[in-house]
Amino acid sequence: MPRAGPPLAQAGAAAPDTRALAASGRPTDRPFCTGGSAGRRIAGGHGANPLGVGLDTSVFHRRRTGGHGPLVPHYTGRSRVLTYLATLPAWAAAALIALASACACGAILWTLLRTGLAWRLATDVPNDRSLHNAPTPRVGGWGVVPVGVIATLLLAPGLWFSALGTAFLAAVSQIDDRRGLPARVRFAAHVLAVVGLVSLFAASAPWWALAILAFLMLWLVNLYNFMDGADGLAGGMALFGFAGYAVAALLSGHPSPELAWSSVAVSGAALGFLFFNFHPARIFLGDAGSISLGFLAGAFGYWGWRGGVWPIWFPAMVFAPFIADASVTLARRLLRGERFWQPHREHYYQRMVRSGVGHARTALAWYVVMATGIMLAVFALGRDAIVQWCIVAGWVVVLFLAGVVVDMRWRRFQSTLSDE
């Protein structure tokens, strides 16, 4: 733990109130950074903090000697965590947060299975549109959501609305998982969370641009739910996608450790969930998990763009595999005049599983695509705009060709069935 000394006292006197900034909703490039040497690892009062983040001066108070004196630590649960993280290299802190989140999520889900409570909370019964044959509890959200929400409130208080919005959607979706809710009620909850975020934390953009972003976020919330239909798929997208957010938030020219820590916590929770969800799955994510992850993906992506951490295309490229599959499938069904809101088995990942690739190999193939796209997206950050958009366009072409390959395999599979 850094020593409190004169450099901290000097920095603390001039440091802005970061909690006030977070409460105001204004984006800050370094939400925990207090400026001066308070953001440095103290070694004689000098040396750069590898986190790129300072200690929150709210965790210090002045020793009362007539109202004056040096800053000394005032320890609370949150301040101890932040102070300890500030002593670690960035990647060590990220690994620690991810490991803790994975263990916490895994412990919750293991307990639910061990006690049998998982089956009583919500159970998925197979039907003619399912890719599985046995009833399976869909309580993955009970592990992922609490870990993600608590970690965000603890490590990134400026993202409080994202955390509370996630908890709200998880609660509504859990009711839907257990008892069922009308579509209009579910959609109203999605609209409330997304519009609340964009309204309370509006970016410096025209109203019509914010309206388009809100619509795209609503689509992301729902498409994440649509894509949760094969073992290990939605959990893998969360693992890779939020890890990509975390890396970008640290490496950006306008880094946001706050966004990085909350993202890596969600990624770690997804890893803990995957221990139970990779084929053969013992637990499904459920609407409480998939809707919440879709909202977090959009909310964190919006927050990063709003704060200048990454450009507008970055979140879309990170989650491009899910966006491409769901959007192309929806467009096809609309063109055929089908009722697009009804469940079906026509997604690309569903066709891969049904044509003989299987759950495990389908998930692994998607992991390769996810990781490749995210690495390209992170590589593109900081490049010239023309280079960035060329990389984005190139990745769109790659996804298009991947879809063509899946379509060709599907047609061969259908032809084989018809010959039999």
Query: Is the link from the previous residue into 280 a cis peptide, with omega within 30 of 0?
Result: yes
Beta bridge partners of 72: 61
The Cα–Cα gap between 7 and 257 comes to 22
CA distances from 81 to 88, 123, 270, 416 (A): 11, 37, 22, 59
**Is 225 annotated as ligand-binding?**
yes
Q: Please check whether residue 237 is in contact with residue 323, taking contact to mean a CB–CB distance below 8 angstroms.
A: no
Query: 400: which residues sit within 8 A by CB, 6+ positions away?
Result: none
Burial 328-343 (b: 16+ CB within 10 A, else e): ebbeebeeeeeeeeee
Among residues 255, 319, 25, which one has the least CA distance to residue 162? Answer: 25
Other C-beta atoms within 10 Å of 34: how many? 23
Q: Are strands 136-137 and 123-124 parallel, antiparallel or unpaired?
A: antiparallel
* Structure letter (DSSP) for residue 340: T
Half-sphere exposure of 245 (CA within 13 A, CB side): 30
Token match 């200048």: residue?
Answer: 308
Do residues 233 and 349 make contact, with C-beta atoms less than 8 angstroms apart?
Answer: yes
Q: How far apart are CA 16 and CA 51, in angstroms?
A: 19
> Angle formed by the axes of helices 141-155 and 257-277, to 10°?
160
Q: Confirm if 259 and 265 have CB atoms less than 8 A apart.
A: no
Asked if 281 contacts 231 with a C-beta cutoff of 8 angstroms, the reply is yes
As given in the structure block, the two tokens for residue 396 are 């769109």
Alpha helices in 278-384, H assignment, sequence order: 286-306, 313-318, 320-335, 348-352, 359-380
133 is in an annotated binding site: no
Annotated binding residues for Mg(2+), written as ranges, equal 225, 287
Tell me the binding residues: 225, 287
